[in-house]
Amino acid sequence: MLHYIIDGNNLIGKMSSVKSKDKNAEREKLAFMLERYFSKKKVKVTLHFDGHKNLPIKISGIKIVYSENRTADELVKDEIERSSNRKNITLISSDNNLKEFAHVCSCAVKNSEDFIKDINSSQNTDEENSIIESMKNSDEFKKLFGVE
């Protein structure tokens, strides 16, 4: 099974749409975006954050790890090292040190900026599909597109 390991703070730093003065609000927004993005994919997802857990974020399908007194980078590296099949791991980060470590361990790497484009593209497609679905029942749509 594919396993995505996400450097949460690095991703937040690249996403203006989740930026806030409230660190927990940023984490929560990111977690919900990821939950939507991965909801129909059969993958394992681990989201790493620096620091301590404040309010719990209730999402499904994503394991959230807080680094507590260590750095999230250390925990990401530990998780990669413990993995029995590193070739199934995709690291999401723009941190050069982490990316180099993942490459040495035979993991795939995706820059945070590229992953953000994937998320945004996915959201646009979901919105377009829901608009099309809502229009399918109109007579005008049926006439235009020959849908019965």
Examine the pLDDT at 143 and tell me if it is beyond 70.
Answer: no
pLDDT value of position 90: 98
Answer yes or no: is 59 within a domain.
yes
CATH number, domain with residue 25: 3.40.50
pLDDT digits over 58-117, tens only? Answer: 999 999 999 999 999 999 999 999 999 999 999 999 999 999 999 999 999 999 999 999
Answer yes or no: is 140 within a domain.
no
Answer yes or no: is 49 within a domain.
yes
pLDDT value of position 48: 97
Question: Which pTM value belongs to this model?
Answer: 0.82
pLDDT digits over 20-38, tens only? Answer: 899 999 999 999 999 999 9
Domain residues for the domain of 110 are 3-118
Answer yes or no: is 136 within a domain.
no
b vs e for 60-69, b when ≥16 Cβ sit within 10 Å of the residue's Cβ?
eebebbbbee
pLDDT value of position 140: 67
The strand order across the sheet containing 63-66 reads: 63-66, 44-49, 3-7, 89-92, 108-110
Answer yes or no: is 103 within a domain.
yes
Average pLDDT, the chain: 89
- CA–CA distance, 68 with 117 (Å, rounded to integer): 30
Answer yes or no: is 107 within a domain.
yes
Q: Note whether 77 and 99 are within 8 A (CB).
A: no
Give how many domains the chain has, as a whole number. 1
